[in-house]
Amino acid sequence: MTDPAAWLAPWAWSQAQHCLIPPQSARTAARSTAVGATAAASPWTPEQQQRLEAALEQAPSGSEAWDLALALLQQPGAASLRPMADQRRQALVGDTVTYVVNRNLNFTNHCVQHCGFCAFRRDAGQAGAFWHSFDTLQARAREAAQAGATELCIQGGLNPEARLNGSSLAYYQALLRALAEAAPGIHLHAFSPQELLFIAEQDGRPLQAVIDGLLEAGLGSVPGTAAEVLSEPVRRQLCPEKLTARQWCAVILQVHRSGLASTATLMAGHLEAPADRAAHLLTLVALQRVAWQHQTSGFSEFVLLPFIGAQAPAALRQRVGRDQPDRAAMLSLTAQARLLLGRWLVNHQPSWVKLTLAGATEALRWGCNDLGGTLMEESITSMAGAQGGTRQSPAALEAAARSLGRPVRQRTTLYGAPVPVGVAP
């Protein structure tokens, strides 16, 4: 069995253990059950909210923070949280809704893993398998830049054939360089923590060398996908081959310490319980604290990713018993995440691909302030059977924000003001 700490920096592996909040510890189990029972009987109050925020300032791994976070996540009929979450959003980031003009590039779906929720992966040669050439990807990057995109979001399956001169890192570097050549100045938001660790494993070299090599090739920031739910018991059922929650935290710590921002995601609405959600969100706070303590880049935004069952592998689909997200439950979780993450993660984005644009627009009333990207193409979620489509025009995103009477502006990946990018001849 491979050493889980292999390829990771020892400091990051050790710090990841402190940041990763377990979903329930024996120490707090009894008290949390009692708090949960109380919470179920009474609505979340401004006083509890204040206590939670104070506890997070002290220590997200402390028992006070745990009890209150769990009580918040256990709120029944969380519609009562909506006004409080909306107010919190307004206090933290104002009324303006943001979006980014970007293009997704899912360059291959060949993958050696078999995550229980994934309808995207294929074996090489299997029906529906694809692996795009650099020429195809460059043409798409040019098109994106011509359409005003400021970002390419690049993610793919774990493809062991993706090598150049025998090196996985060399392939990924060449991919970034080819895209930068096609669309000079465009922001390259690329490769999940799982992909980064995969490259290190494939080449048998430290993760830090991979991050440094990709930075040199133009990497601009990292998608915080593959987090799914940061709860080891859930991951063992959902995606046992994937990097562990502790490994995800360690990779993110190294990414942030290298000066790269990442997003933070939570895939919800499948096997996870309120305690898993609480643990996940508290872990994000703990990781952001570390980034801020070291004055390095941290998480730029939080994205809630509802599970789509329609085309998911049968075992999980049947267990969950739902093809499309439970919109009311996901809106409640949107509000809960806003209230829990507070000042630690101020930008919140719903997924219009998963919720539809109408659902994402509604989420703007539940604590969200960002509508994400135009995407222009999308494979991962649409292959799972999502109903939100694969592209949005800037006009459609702006109209969605304005339908709520909210101002709207285009942003860059890292929430700055956009500047035009070049297009290679």
As a whole number of angstroms, the distance between CA 152 and CA 114 comes to 26
Closest approach of ligand SF4 to the CB of residue 158, in Å: 5
Element (H, E) at 373: strand 370-373
Asked if 345 touches ligand SF4 (CB under 6 A), the answer is no
Q: Does 113 bind ligand SF4 (CB under 6 A)?
A: yes
Q: Which of 7, 66, 120, 191 binds ligand SF4 (CB under 6 A)?
A: 120
Nearer to ligand SF4, 117 or 344 (CB): 117
Alpha-carbon distance of 337 to 64, in angstroms, equals: 17
Does 343 sit near ligand SF4 (CB under 6 A)?
no
- Cα dihedral 271→273→278→283 (10° resolution): -30
Q: Are strands 299-306 and 348-349 parallel, antiparallel or unpaired?
A: parallel
Q: Closer CB to ligand SF4, residue 121 or residue 411?
A: 121
- Binders of ligand SF4 among residues 10 to 29 (CB under 6 A) are none
* CA distance linking residue 250 with residue 237, whole number of Å: 21
3-state secondary structure of 10: helix
Q: How many CA atoms lie within 13 A of 115 on its CB side?
A: 26
**Torsions phi, psi of 227, nearest 5?**
-75, -35
Q: How far apart are CA 331 and CA 333, in angstroms?
A: 5
Choices 81-89, 114-122, 136-144, 171-179 (CB under 6 A): range interacting with ligand SF4: 114-122
Q: Residue 69: phi, psi to the nearest 5?
A: -60, -45
Whichever of 66 and 120 has its CB closer to ligand SF4, that residue is: 120
Q: Is position 309 an interface residue for ligand SF4 (rule: CB under 6 A)?
A: no
Q: Choose one: 115-123, 183-191, 266-274, 403-411; the region binding ligand SF4 (CB under 6 A).
A: 115-123
The residue type found at 328 is A
Q: Is 157 in the site for ligand SF4 (CB under 6 A)?
A: yes
The total of other beta-carbon atoms located within 10 Å of residue 240's CB is 12
Contact 384, 120 (CB under 8 A): yes
- Pick 226 or 290: Cβ nearer ligand SF4: 226
Residue with tokens 């890192």: 169
Closest separation in Å from C-beta 417 to ligand SF4: 33
* Token pair for 301: 């935004």
* Binding of ligand SF4 by 208 (CB under 6 A): no
Q: Which stretch binds ligand SF4 (CB under 6 A): 59-67, 76-84, 106-114, 205-213?
A: 106-114
Is the Cβ–Cβ distance between 306 and 354 less than 8 Å? yes
Interaction of residue 7 with ligand SF4, rule CB under 6 A: no
Q: Which stretch binds ligand SF4 (CB under 6 A): 4-12, 40-48, 118-126, 286-294?
A: 118-126
Residue at 226: amino acid letter? A
| Residue closer to ligand SF4 (CB basis): 132 or 406 | 132
Size, binding site for ligand SF4 by CB under 6 A: 10
Smallest distance, ligand SF4 to C-beta of residue 35, A = 34
In terms of CB distance, is 194 or 334 closer to ligand SF4?
A: 194
Residue 111 binds to ligand SF4 (criterion: CB under 6 A): yes
Task: Report DSSP state, residue 382.
Answer: G
Among 18, 27, 114, 343, indicate the residue that binds ligand SF4 (CB under 6 A).
Answer: 114
How many other CB atoms are there within 10 angstroms of residue 152's CB atom? Answer: 28
Sole binder of ligand SF4 in the list 158, 253, 281, 312 (CB under 6 A): 158
- Which of 121, 270, 280, 317 forms a contact with ligand SF4 (CB under 6 A)? 121
Sign of CA dihedral 47, 53, 57, 59: positive
CB of 28 to ligand SF4, least distance (A): 32
Q: Which of 302, 308, 409 is nearest to 366 (CA)?
A: 302
Q: Which of 115, 169, 234, 291 binds ligand SF4 (CB under 6 A)?
A: 115
The contact set with ligand SF4 (CB under 6 A) reads 111, 113-115, 118, 120-121, 157-158, 194
